[in-house]
Amino acid sequence: MTDALTFVVRSLIELYVIVFVLRLILQWVRADFRNPLSQFILKVTDPLVIPLRRLVPAIGPLDTATLLIALGLQAVLIILLINLACVGSADAPQILALTVFGLIRLLLRIYFFVIIAYVILSWVAPGTYNPAVSLLTSMVEPVLAPLRRIIPPIGGFDLSPIFAFIAIGALTRLLPVGRLMGGLLCTAVGQPI
């Protein structure tokens, strides 16, 4: 029963956090917000972002309100998972660190899957227009373009996604989530918080 409840809670909150992280990414890459998928993300996140934006102004290009909501939801997720699936309890600095590293890990996972989708769509439907392809391109190009300058296409094959996957894997392994979980004796979480 605890496994199922943990899975449901984790999935629902993490899906909502993903939408906020996508909003941050789309703002960072200056994606077209007239895109139907961008409009969906705005409609889902605006009820929380707009009221908080009145209290917390943006810092430069960073939408502070969206970031704070994503961090807050991630902290709620961490606290719920610790209460549902762990024997030990975490202190505030440990929860804060798990929240920040969990959000970074989620960002890396999003980029991993976005790059996979981008690569598959480039094979299946190269050169066609679709709102999803346009959004994926605007998200992926700022990451792959610097890699292409270092490793140009070889024989018509763009190897930059492979090196992006390697970088994402290395960064994910550098996150100290395992050490932060030490002493909590967590079960039924499935994967690290």
Average pLDDT over residues 30-46: 92
| Tokens of residue 145, six digits | 């373009």
Report the amino acid identity of residue 29: V
Q: Could you list the residue range(s) of the whole structural domain that residue 170 is in?
A: 2-181
Q: pTM of the full predicted structure?
A: 0.86
Can you say whether the dihedral through the CA atoms of 115, 118, 123, 127 is positive or negative?
negative
Q: How many domains does the chain have?
A: 1
Q: Which residues lie across from 86 on neighbouring strands?
A: 186
Residue 193 domain-assigned (yes or no): no
CA distance 149 to 10: 39
- Name the nearest CA neighbour of 13 among 112, 79, 65: 79
CB-based contact 94:190 (threshold 8 Å): no
Residue 191 domain-assigned (yes or no): no
Confidence band for 100, pLDDT divided at 50, 70 and 90: very high
Residue 170 domain-assigned (yes or no): yes
Average pLDDT over residues 38-51: 94
Q: What is the pLDDT of residues 68-80, one digit of tens each?
A: 999 999 999 988 8
Confidence band for 89, pLDDT divided at 50, 70 and 90: confident
Residue 21 domain-assigned (yes or no): yes
Residue 160 domain-assigned (yes or no): yes
Measured at the CA of 22, the angle between CA 135 and CA 54, to 5 degrees, comes to 120
Q: Kindly report the average pLDDT of the chain as a whole number.
A: 86
Residue 66 domain-assigned (yes or no): yes
Q: Is residue 183 pLDDT above 60, yes or no?
A: no
Q: Is residue 187 pLDDT above 70, yes or no?
A: no
